[in-house]
Structure 1
Amino acid sequence: MLASALETYASWDLRKVAIPSRSRLYRLEPVGIGTPLVESLTGYISRLAEAHCVNPGVLMEKELATLVNKEYGGANLHRIYNYTTALNGSGVMAMDLVQALQKLTLRDDLGFLTLLAWYKLFPSRNLLRPIRAWCPSCYQEWYEKKQLIYEPLLWSLDVVKVCPYHHHQLIFQCPHCHQKNTTLAWRSRPGYCSRCGEWLGLILSQESANRKVLKKNELEQKIWAAKAIGELISATPYLNDALSSTAIALTLSKWVEEIAKGNIAEFARQINIPRNTVWLWCKGKNLPSLEALTNICYCFGVSILSFFTEETNNLYLSRKLVATEVKTTLRKSSKPFDAEKVKFHLEALLTNDESPPLSMEAVARQLEVNRRTIYKHFPDLCRAISARYTSYQKDCHKKIIEECCQEVRLVAFDLHNQGKYPTESAVSELISKPGYFRYKKVRLALREANRELEL
């Protein structure tokens, strides 16, 4: 009776359980993939570092530098300090870092936090701005709504000057310490200055000052540009096949046919761009910059996304664009070239001791005349102005190097007085421009200081 009351249980399965792979770093989810405000890769690194309770510089040096062991510096912030903007771009630096991060986090979507999908579309030069930019109103709004604070990729694009949601200019300088931030610094943190650590949220006086800078029509164009580029960013993960340099050449050729009846010279005059440049674009031999393509699309009322994805054979008829209308919209100026006025202005600049001197690009903007036209008429004066500007830039650079050397010397002595050995790593954490250790003169200044200290 006792034996019959005993229950029989299934035998245990003693086979080894398959355990999924574990990532070395947290599998932190990126913000906003598939939206205009997708997170930037450098911003993701800052959040990932914060999640591990370390500075981004430490995370890069200890975890990523070993995986990105390249001659250009790889993931060593001390060596790529002033080039970190390229980590969000479309080149090898972004590719290397994405691959390393994906290996450490086991994610496969970090490429969408960069412009890698655009590598065939736009030249990399001037695609990204060299310094950090942000919208204080976005920061403040996210903070008040208790949302995640992060760095959108849109803010890193050089052509984007205003926030598409709050309609004021992006900020490039901390309102507290009045310094600019690099795209990724040793102590970067979303929403905070990497120099002084202060909050970069909304400041009313700064916001109102920014709104007065742009005229209404200029502001409208920049808002349109920011929204159009944001639209392209949001669609990028789903349009890899459509985004190609061939599409640019094909669409521009159709526009030339529809708007200027196949006359490239006429089309070039209407958009105020040299004929040879447009010809090279249409033949697929060169690529227009993102800014140039944005300006053209704005003038024709076509979004950048539509430029790549929609059929444009009937553009001319559907939008009822005639040559005279396009000329009025696109041409910057139709006034004749006043040679005497331009010559007088150039000569006045050369006799003026104004500091800093202007570049020829700035002079051309002042005169509202194409720089090439000025060079054509007054090559000697233009070369003199350019030489003066170049000399000034070299003098400024030399002065900054000397100031940095003096700062390195003072920091080295201060560390020694504290009983610490003044290594390059220790000194770089305390000086204002640690990236300047890439210059031989700055490194020599530290060696000379150590010799004086008999180290």
Structure 2
Amino acid sequence: MERSTLYNLEPLNLNNAYIESIGSYVERIAVLHNITTGTLLSKIISPILDKKYINNINLKGGDGFYKGSNAIAGFGTTANDFRNAMEVLTTRGDLVKTTLINQGPMLTFRGLLRNKKAWCPECLETMVEVDKEEVYFPLLWNIELFSICPKHRIKLEDKCRNCNGEMNILSRTSIPGYCSRCLNWLGSKAKIEGLDTIYNPQKEYEIRKSLFAEELIALGIENNNQPFTREDVIKGLNGVVHNIFNNNIRKAANELGFKETTFRYWVKGKNLPGLDAVAKMCLTFNISLKQFLNVNISSSDILYININVEEARQINNKYDHIFISKILQKVINDNLFISIKRLADYIGCDRTLLTKIYPEECKIIIEENKKFMSTKKIKRLKQKFDELDTAFFHTIKIDEFPSVRQLEKKLGKNFLKEKELRERFNNLRNLYL
């Protein structure tokens, strides 16, 4: 039996839509070998790839490859080279599923992949706290179309809450679930209970787009040996024009909201539509991607989604101010203590927009949250004071000097770093030593 250079590790969730991405797979391999992702890439993967652009990392340093590392999850040359190298090193033959290579023939690069990491903080937290499974990043999180987690109904995050930094898909110090800049844990209970009761057509549409992306991944796994092709997409487009619009390309383009010239190029096969455009057609007619590619549609089967004029306007607008206003009122009326920053993240807008357009509502929310946080801090400090007092007097009782080091051995590293605790400690020393 052939021995592998790297552990023959199976990608997580190998045969479902939430399969692990190849970037996450590389990070987990590095952790198992007790080396950094950078070392794994430069010392082990790089010689197998033998590509000038990646060998330069060894010779000159720099972040050129890391900045473009989103391409390893795609379907181009970089993705194929990287997948082949990892399969050689692990002796596995199924890593193609951790990329979009199987789906590649029917895709375009435009608007397909994110340039930076994105994640659902609730999913990461669930992996550790509930499922007790290994932390990983699904391939889905690399896809631009997948913007809201359908499981937790929250927007994916792309900046560390601790340092506010963005992360490349791969970096020298990347570890699954942690910020590669400050090593802060990226999981959290991000969902705001009580706000999901407000219907938001824009959010519901984004969730349906995320579910469409799930279907794309599932199709790549299902049709591993016979992937769909460019011709299938063109046939699907022509099926829409023929079966629904009676071969009227202009009418189809106008009703779907595409430029007529662009749409004609797609129908004639000169260019391929981006994934977002295919999703728009499928969601408009309430058909699956598989139906679209198999031209399994007819005018009698189509169920146009009943979106009224007001909802259509809300979906097309960048910000739905009716929804925002309802959210702010609910936060105030139900005493949901929350910062404006977190509220803006939940809504998907900038906090400056909230404070500028809704100054009175924001003022009330800020004041109530300040009171809540102040009360919370008082309770927390009281508990910490009690812990400090107990440790201080116990140390004296056993004839040891209550130094910072001695107390932090009992209470935990940096326990006395907080100003109020340091002052309490100094007062105790002045009174009893």
TM score, norm. by length of structure 1: 0.63
Among 309, 317, 324, the residue aligned to 2:300:
317
Most deviating of 225-234 and 150-159 = 225-234
**Could you say which residue in structure 2 is the equivalent of 1:229?**
213
Aligned ranges for residues 331-342 of structure 1 at < 5 Å? none
Deviation at 1:118, TM superposition (A): 2.1
Distance 1:215 1:53 in 2: 47
Distance 2:277 2:308 in 1: 16
Pair 1:30-2:33 in alignment: no
Cα 1:104–1:48, aligned 2, differ >3 Å: closer, same or farther? same
**Could you say which residue in structure 2 is the equivalent of 1:146?**
132
**Could you say which residue in structure 2 is the equivalent of 1:393?**
none
What is the identity, as a one-letter code, of the residue corresponding to 2:219? Answer: A
Among 185, 196, 199, the residue aligned to 2:171:
185
What is the identity, as a one-letter code, of the residue corresponding to 1:28? Answer: L
Aligned ranges for residues 105-116 of structure 1 at < 5 Å? 105-116=90-101
Whether the aligned pair in 2 keeps the contact of 1:122 and 1:290 (CA below 8 Å) is yes
**Could you say which residue in structure 2 is the equivalent of 1:159?**
145
SS in 1 for 2:102: helix
What is the identity, as a one-letter code, of the residue corresponding to 2:17? Answer: P
Deviation at 1:105, TM superposition (A): 0.5
Whether the aligned pair in 2 keeps the contact of 1:60 and 1:75 (CA below 8 Å) is no
Distance 1:329 1:106 in 2: 55
**Could you say which residue in structure 2 is the equivalent of 1:382?**
none
**Could you say which residue in structure 2 is the equivalent of 1:81?**
66
The size of the alignment, in residue pairs, is: 309
**Could you say which residue in structure 2 is the equivalent of 1:97?**
82
Pair 1:197-2:183 in alignment: yes
Identical residues among aligned pairs (%): 30
**Could you say which residue in structure 2 is the equivalent of 1:390?**
none
Deviation at 1:235, TM superposition (A): 2.6
SS in 2 for 1:230: helix
**Could you say which residue in structure 2 is the equivalent of 1:174?**
160
Deviation at 1:330, TM superposition (A): 11
Cα 1:22–1:250, aligned 2, differ >3 Å: closer, same or farther? same
SS in 2 for 1:229: helix
SS in 2 for 1:65: helix
Deviation at 1:75, TM superposition (A): 8.9
Aligned ranges for residues 229-378 of structure 1 at < 5 Å? 229-240=213-224, 241-309=226-294, 311-312=296-297, 315-319=298-302
Deviations 1:141-173 (A, max 9, x none): 110131111010000111111112101000011
SS in 2 for 1:236: helix
Deviation at 1:33, TM superposition (A): 2.0
What is the identity, as a one-letter code, of the residue corresponding to 1:222? Answer: E
Distance 1:296 1:74 in 2: 43
Whether the aligned pair in 1 keeps the contact of 2:284 and 2:304 (CA below 8 Å) is no
SS in 2 for 1:48: helix
Deviation at 1:208, TM superposition (A): 3.4
What is the identity, as a one-letter code, of the residue corresponding to 1:270? Answer: E
Pair 1:117-2:98 in alignment: no
Among 63, 86, 102, the residue aligned to 2:44:
63
Deviation at 1:138, TM superposition (A): 0.4
Deviation at 1:242, TM superposition (A): 4.8
Cα 1:239–1:180, aligned 2, differ >3 Å: closer, same or farther? same
Deviations 1:47-70 (A, max 9, x none): 000000011110000101111122
Deviation at 1:309, TM superposition (A): 3.8
Distance 1:56 1:75 in 2: 16
Cα 1:74–1:290, aligned 2, differ >3 Å: closer, same or farther? farther
Distance 1:137 1:309 in 2: 36
Whether the aligned pair in 2 keeps the contact of 1:271 and 1:331 (CA below 8 Å) is no
SS in 1 for 2:49: coil
Deviation at 1:215, TM superposition (A): 7.1
Distance 1:136 1:51 in 2: 23
Cα 1:242–1:51, aligned 2, differ >3 Å: closer, same or farther? closer
**Could you say which residue in structure 1 is the equivalent of 2:418?**
none
Task: Structure 1: give runs of 5+ residues left out of the alignment.
Answer: 1-19, 336-455
Distance 1:250 1:36 in 2: 25
